[in-house]
């Protein structure tokens, strides 16, 4: 008898390890002991459920969600869109996707950010949406600028948008960053380079999507998010470790 | 791994960075934008069971509290049911079982109010002791860290818990057990999470 079973084990070879000394803050914030492997119980195969009561229709439009009436943020107008799929290539519908980013000059609207590039009065920098029945999502925003950070003396983050996604289970929870095709800072960035696998970095790089670009209006980038998949359980009667 | 099969590959994790609040707790970043921020009410007003407060610090390898952490909580209700179609049973209206908390920028203290969860069913047989599932992200953490918090006043259930018993170093099990104190008549569980070094908290690969 088939029933949905455990989630596929996370392939840690495509994720950054905890300790990546080129990214200096990771040195004191990485565990030294091994992770303890835990097979899925009800605590892991479940996770929070979100719906359209949780987010408003305009929450995914960063061009308008913090702008004064009739005004607009300054910067390259873009659509960031894609699908949330699992490793089995099945869509993940009704899942919460949240993003945050700097403005076009690389300045974050955060009381801890003191970079001298100015705040944009019409740009907040966060958005959220729930995927549709096909796992599809989209945001409108401006393309963020690169910004400097105190790691090595002359480190600059590539343009990036932070992405948080839930899936249906707590084991699928993921925060990552979306980069942009062709950015020369990508290979130079110690945070990008925490990822040991070149294909995995490419998968985090949004592609210019000319077909979704709106002529005379907005450039589009495509960014698909892949979450852990789940196997079907044919037999499940082992006692090992419960 | 298994590239000749047609599975997709999971998107790689990246750090949440120091400005995680902008996206997930914009009020703390310094601006109001959403009708309602998510994750501040874990149990809701109708949840049965004992009302508790949980609080603590996340401490780095230098012994210093981390002041830009975000934690997410996932827990069952007092009957041991998760608010999910496969969660084991119904939950009270408004009980979400999920929460999101950030640390105080000055002190690193975090805390949240909820109800004490009940026992949940084990993976195949038996039961799991009451616990909170925690997920920790921050600047310098490349991939979210999963841990669990158990309750010191559940001695018998903890002794039989299948997950605690998976940890072969018995002294490390204590890193997952929060001590109970009383403050103004409210039970408070104190849980220090040590990322690295002496008494390093147990983290799981789920």
Residues B69 and A21 sit within 8 Å (Cβ to Cβ): no
Per the domain annotation, does B192 fall within a domain? no
In a domain, B171, yes or no: yes
Residue pLDDT, tens place only, B110-140: 999 999 999 999 887 789 999 999 999 999 9
Q: How many CB pairs under 8 A join A and B?
A: 281
What is the spatial distance between Cα B47 and Cα B49, in angstroms, rounded to a whole number?
7
Q: Confirm or reject contact between B152 and chain A (CB < 8 A).
A: no
Q: What are the DSSP E strand ranges found in A87-125?
A: 96-100
Per-residue CA distances from A29 to A37, B39, B144, B173 (Å): 20, 25, 11, 21
Please tell me which of the candidates B14, B34, B85 has its beta carbon nearest to residue A177. Answer: B14
What is the domain count for chain B?
1
pLDDT at A234 over 90: no
The reply to whether B153 touches chain A by the CB within 8 Å rule is no
Q: Which of B31, B133, B205 sits opposite A10 (nearest CB)?
A: B205
Here the ipTM equals: 0.96
User: Is residue B129 a part of any domain in this protein?
Assistant: yes
Cβ neighbours of A12 (radius 10 Å) = 14
Contact residues, B window 38-57, toward A, CB-based 8 Å cutoff: 38
**Chain A touched by B3 (CB under 8 Å):** no
Q: Which residues pair with B111 in a beta bridge?
A: B55
- Does B165 map to a domain? yes
Selection from A225, A220, A228 nearest residue A203 by Cα: A225
- Note whether residue B4 is domain-resident: no
pLDDT band at A235 (very low <50, low <70, confident <90, very high): low
**How far apart, in whole angstroms, are the C-alpha atoms of residue A77 and residue B15?**
26
- Given an 8 Å threshold on Cβ–Cβ distance, is B196 in contact with A88? no
Please tell me which of the candidates B35, B86, B196 has its beta carbon nearest to residue A46. B86
Q: What is the DSSP string of B5-32?
A: S----PPPP----TTHHHHH-HHHHT--
Tokens 């038996």: give the residue: B126
B159 part of a folded domain:
yes
Give the burial class of B149: count Cβ atoms within 10 A of its Cβ; 0-12 exposed, 13-18 middle, 19 or more buried: buried
Q: What is the mean pLDDT of residues A62-82?
A: 97
Q: What is the CATH number of the domain that holds B82?
A: 2.60.130.10
pLDDT of A73 higher than 60: yes
Closest-CA residue in chain A for B168?
A36
Q: Is B103 within 8 Å of chain A by CB?
A: no
The contacts of residue B130 (CB under 8 Å, 6+ apart) are B76, B80, B116, B117, B118, B119, B120, B150, B151, B154, B157
User: Which positions of A are catalytic?
Assistant: 108, 147, 157, 160, 162
Contacts of residue B16 in chain A, CB cutoff 8 Å? 162, 164, 175
Contact A116, A106 (CB under 8 A): no
Tens-digit pLDDT profile for residues B1-51: 556 889 999 999 999 999 999 999 999 999 999 999 999 999 999 999 999
Continuous segment of H or E residues that includes residue B160? helix B155-160
Residue B199 resides in a domain: no
Nearest CB among B61, B74, B201 relative to A47 is that of B74
Encode pLDDT of A10-48 as tens digits. Answer: 999 999 999 999 999 999 999 999 999 999 999 999 999
- Fold type of domain A47-226: Protocatechuate 3,4-Dioxygenase, subunit A (2.60.130)
Question: What is the C-alpha to C-alpha distance for residues A50 and B40, in angstroms, rounded to an integer?
Answer: 14
B34 reaches A (C-beta below 8 A): yes
CA atoms of B122 and B163, how far apart (whole Å): 9
Domain spans of chain A? 47-226
- Best mutation target among A3, A24, A25, A149 (most B Cβ atoms within 10 Å) is A25
- What lies within 8 Å, CB to CB, of A125 at 6+ separation is A62, A66, A100, A101, A102, A103, A108, A109, B22, B23
Residue B57's domain comprises: 45-185
What is the DSSP-derived secondary structure letter of residue A61? B
- Please say whether the beta carbons of B116 and B21 come within 8 A: no
Arithmetic mean of pLDDT, A223-227? 98
């Amino acid at each position: 008898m088939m029933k949905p079973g455990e989630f596929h084990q996370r392939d840690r070879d495509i994720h950054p390890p905890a300790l990546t000394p080129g990214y200096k803050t990771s040195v004191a914030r990485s565990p030294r002991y091994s992770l303890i492997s835990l097979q899925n119980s009800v605590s892991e195969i479940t996770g929070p459920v979100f719906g359209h009561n949780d987010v408003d229709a305009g929450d995914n439009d960063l061009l308008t969600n913090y702008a004064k009436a009739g005004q607009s943020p300054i910067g390259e107008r873009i659509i960031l869109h894609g699908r949330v799929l699992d490793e089995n290539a099945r869509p993940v519908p009704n899942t919460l996707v949240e993003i945050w980013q700097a403005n076009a000059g690389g300045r974050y609207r955060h009381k801890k950010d003191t970079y001298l590039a100015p705040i944009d009065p019409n740009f907040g920098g966060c958005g959220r949406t729930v995927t549709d029945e096909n796992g599809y999502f989209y945001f409108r925003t401006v393309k963020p600028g690169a910004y400097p950070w105190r790691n090595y003396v002359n480190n600059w983050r590539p343009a990036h948008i932070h992405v948080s996604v839930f899936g249906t289970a707590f084991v699928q929870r993921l925060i990552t960053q979306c980069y942009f095709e062709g950015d020369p800072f990508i290979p130079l960035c110690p945070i990008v380079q925490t990822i040991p696998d070149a294909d995995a970095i490419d998968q985090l790089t949004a592609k210019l999507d000319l077909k979704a670009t709106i002529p005379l209006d907005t450039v589009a980038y495509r960014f698909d998010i892949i979450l852990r998949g789940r196997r079907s359980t044919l037999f499940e009667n082992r006692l090992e470790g419960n | 791994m298994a590239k000749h099969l047609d599975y997709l590959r999971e998107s790689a994790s990246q750090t949440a960075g120091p400005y995680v609040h902008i996206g997930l707790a914009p009020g703390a970043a310094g601006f109001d934008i959403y009708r309602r921020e998510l994750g501040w009410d874990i149990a809701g007003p109708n949840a049965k069971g004992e009302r508790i407060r949980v609080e603590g610090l996340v401490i780095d390898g230098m012994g210093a509290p981390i002041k830009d952490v975000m934690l997410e909580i996932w827990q069952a209700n007092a009957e041991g049911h998760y608010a999910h179609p496969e969660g084991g049973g119904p939950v009270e209206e408004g009980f979400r079982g999920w929460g999101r908390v950030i640390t105080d920028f000055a002190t690193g203290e975090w805390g949240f109010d909820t109800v004490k969860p009940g026992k949940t069913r084990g993976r195949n047989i038996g039961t799991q002791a009451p616990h909170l599932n925690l997920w920790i992200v921050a600047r310098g953490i490349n991939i979210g860290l999963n841990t669990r918090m158990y309750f010191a006043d559940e001695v018998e259930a903890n002794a039989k818990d299948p997950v605690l018993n998976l940890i072969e170093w018995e002294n490390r099990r204590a890193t997952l057990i929060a001590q109970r104190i009383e403050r103004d008549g409210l039970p408070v569980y104190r849980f220090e999470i040590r990322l690295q070094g002496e008494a390093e908290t147990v983290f799981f690969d789920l």
